[in-house]
Amino acid sequence: MSLEDETLMVLKDELVQAYSNGDVDNAAFAERLKEIRSADIGEMLDVMIEDDDALPAAIAVLGTLSSERAANVLGYLAGYNQLAIVAEQQDSQVLTLLEEMSADERADLFNLLGEDRREALLRRMAHREREDLKRLSSYEEGTAGAIMTSDYVAIASGMTVSQALMRVRQTAPDAETVYQLYILSRDGQLIGTMSLRQLMVARPGAIVDDIMIKEVISTWVGEEQETVARVVARYDLLALPVIDAEQRMVGIVTHDDAMDVAESEATEDFHKGMSIGALEDGVSRVPLWSLYRKRVFWLVLLVFANLFSGAGIAYFEDIIAAQVALVFFLPLLIGSGGNAGAQAATLMVRGMATGDVGVKDWGKMLGRELLVAGALGLTMALAVAPIGVMRGGEAVAIVVALSMVTIVLFGSLMGMCLPFVLERFKVDPATASAPLVTTLIDASGVLIYFSIASAILTSVAV
């Protein structure tokens, strides 16, 4: 990655320069850093560590910040840059940072540490912190539990409005959001919710149980993060409460974390659409070996799948020898089928991911695709027919046009249906990638084209 912001760029270069010369005016830098957002400082440190190889300078910059700010900035860094930094620090420094981090980011960093380091740090924590951290870091990656935070405002059932307001004021500095309050029964079950807005306009003496909303949208701690993000988006929530199997509230997923999840899930789907496995980080920083592994699997598999196209061609060797002009149209026909099919597949995969298309819509979608693909095939046949006449005469033009309609129609329907079939067999529909769909259509296209050619050209006896 690189810094797109000029000001940040300049500051970063000055920092790297100054720290490498050992000629540093910490106070002056601290003053300039004050005006920069934590997210931006985080990005700057990422670049310092990765591109400039200036880890000591990055650590020194963190050192000029207050521990609260430093923890905040650390949370914005890429995982292994966080790891690189804490590897250079004493346990006591790390403990201070961990303490100031938000609960979910703390658990994420903690999960990256080696077992020995984790043990050493846990031993020095207070009992309650230790249990909270152990619990949050125990959830499986990709679940609600792994992205939630335990910093939320819980209100005990039976409290008055003014008691609840007092509680909000007390917890304000710690909680991730104070704007949505959760009312818990004595044994920790989530029984209602209420916005701070509602609380502020309510009569101070009222009991929260009487004004709270009892129909709470919540999610289970083991729910997939993708689903969690969709619920947050669908109901325009600030935060979604997370409950365990006993209906006890264990955390919240905030809107900003849901947005991050939605973005990374979209990226994963983009990559899957080209048969690339899920990358553990952005393409600019993921290790090359990992990038290779995530790309090679399907590429090699499809090499073998492509043998079917070759076999098809070999089978029709005679007709090709008789009419060499046919080979001229081969890339065009199978390419067109592949393109139309990849379009149809992508429309369905994305429609399913956004909830626009459900499995039940299969029949309706098939009808629609039939009409659209038919029209597309006809248009493309009209486009290619004159070229057929020019290269091989009328008979070839008819073969090519007829093949185009058939291949585009067949390819589109196959591309459209594949995601539904995969979903039916509990495979991620995004597996219906462009490379897979085009490879399948290539092979079918060869068969369709040369079958039509054999039938027509043999009968007119060219």
- Residues in Cβ contact with 364 at an 8 Å cutoff, skipping those fewer than 6 apart: none
Q: Which residue type is seen at 112? A: L
Q: Taking the complex as a whole, how short is the minimal distance between the CB of residue 143 and a second copy, in angstroms?
A: 20
Rounded CA separation 368/338 (Å): 19
Q: Taking the complex as a whole, how short is the minimal distance between the CB of residue 207 and a second copy, in angstroms?
A: 20
Q: What 3-state class would DSSP assign to 183?
A: strand
Task: Please name the helix (run of DSSP H) or strand (run of DSSP E) that holds residue 182, with its range, or none.
Answer: strand 177-184
Q: Taking the complex as a whole, how short is the minimal distance between the CB of residue 278 and a second copy, in angstroms?
A: 13
Is the Cβ of residue 11 or residue 121 nearer to a second copy in the bound state?
Answer: 11
Is the Cβ of residue 250 or residue 348 nearer to a second copy in the bound state?
Answer: 348
Q: Taking the complex as a whole, how short is the minimal distance between the CB of residue 6 and a second copy, in angstroms?
A: 11
Q: Can you state the angle between helices 225-234 and 255-272, rounded to 10 degrees?
A: 120
Place of tokens 């931006």: 40
Reference 352, options 441, 439, 416; nearest CA is: 416
Rounded CA separation 355/351 (Å): 6
Is the Cβ of residue 216 or residue 456 nearer to a second copy in the bound state?
Answer: 216
* Token couple for 429: 């529909």
Is the Cβ of residue 122 or residue 370 nearer to a second copy in the bound state?
Answer: 370
Is the Cβ of residue 129 or residue 226 nearer to a second copy in the bound state?
Answer: 226
DSSP secondary structure code for residue 284 in this structure = T
Task: Please name the helix (run of DSSP H) or strand (run of DSSP E) that holds residue 240, with its range, or none.
Answer: strand 239-243
Rounded CA separation 418/424 (Å): 10
Q: What 3-state class would DSSP assign to 2?
A: coil
Q: Taking the complex as a whole, how short is the minimal distance between the CB of residue 438 and a second copy, in angstroms?
A: 7
Is the Cβ of residue 88 or residue 263 nearer to a second copy in the bound state?
Answer: 263
Is the Cβ of residue 37 or residue 124 nearer to a second copy in the bound state?
Answer: 37
Query: Under a CB-based contact definition with an 8 Å cutoff, are residues 448 and 454 in contact?
Result: no
Q: Taking the complex as a whole, how short is the minimal distance between the CB of residue 55 and a second copy, in angstroms?
A: 18
Q: Which residue type is seen at 380? A: M
Query: Under a CB-based contact definition with an 8 Å cutoff, are residues 436 and 390 in contact?
Result: no
Rounded CA separation 181/153 (Å): 5
Q: Taking the complex as a whole, how short is the minimal distance between the CB of residue 43 and a second copy, in angstroms?
A: 9
Q: Taking the complex as a whole, how short is the minimal distance between the CB of residue 337 and a second copy, in angstroms?
A: 10
Is the Cβ of residue 47 or residue 452 nearer to a second copy in the bound state?
Answer: 47
Residue 241, beta-bridge partner list: 252
Do the bridges between strand 219-220 and strand 239-243 make them parallel or antiparallel, or are there none, so unpaired?
Answer: parallel
Q: Which residue type is seen at 191? A: I
Q: Taking the complex as a whole, how short is the minimal distance between the CB of residue 448 and a second copy, in angstroms?
A: 14
Q: Taking the complex as a whole, how short is the minimal distance between the CB of residue 246 and a second copy, in angstroms?
A: 24
How far, CA to CA in Å, does 90 sit from each of 93, 121, 260? Answer: 5, 10, 31
Rounded CA separation 59/36 (Å): 17
Q: Taking the complex as a whole, how short is the minimal distance between the CB of residue 373 and a second copy, in angstroms?
A: 9
* DSSP states along 149-200: BS-EEEEETT-BHHHHHHHHHHHTTT-SEEEEEEEE-TTSBEEEEEEHHHHH
Name the burial class of residue 276, with classes exposed (0-12), middle (13-18) and buried (19+) by CB atoms within 10 angstroms of its CB: buried
Is the Cβ of residue 145 or residue 273 nearer to a second copy in the bound state?
Answer: 273
Residue 219, beta-bridge partner list: 242
- Residue 386 CB coordination number (10 Å): 11
Is the Cβ of residue 29 or residue 113 nearer to a second copy in the bound state?
Answer: 29
Is the Cβ of residue 123 or residue 235 nearer to a second copy in the bound state?
Answer: 235
Is the Cβ of residue 64 or residue 339 nearer to a second copy in the bound state?
Answer: 339
Q: Taking the complex as a whole, how short is the minimal distance between the CB of residue 27 and a second copy, in angstroms?
A: 20
Reference 396, options 320, 325, 322; nearest CA is: 325
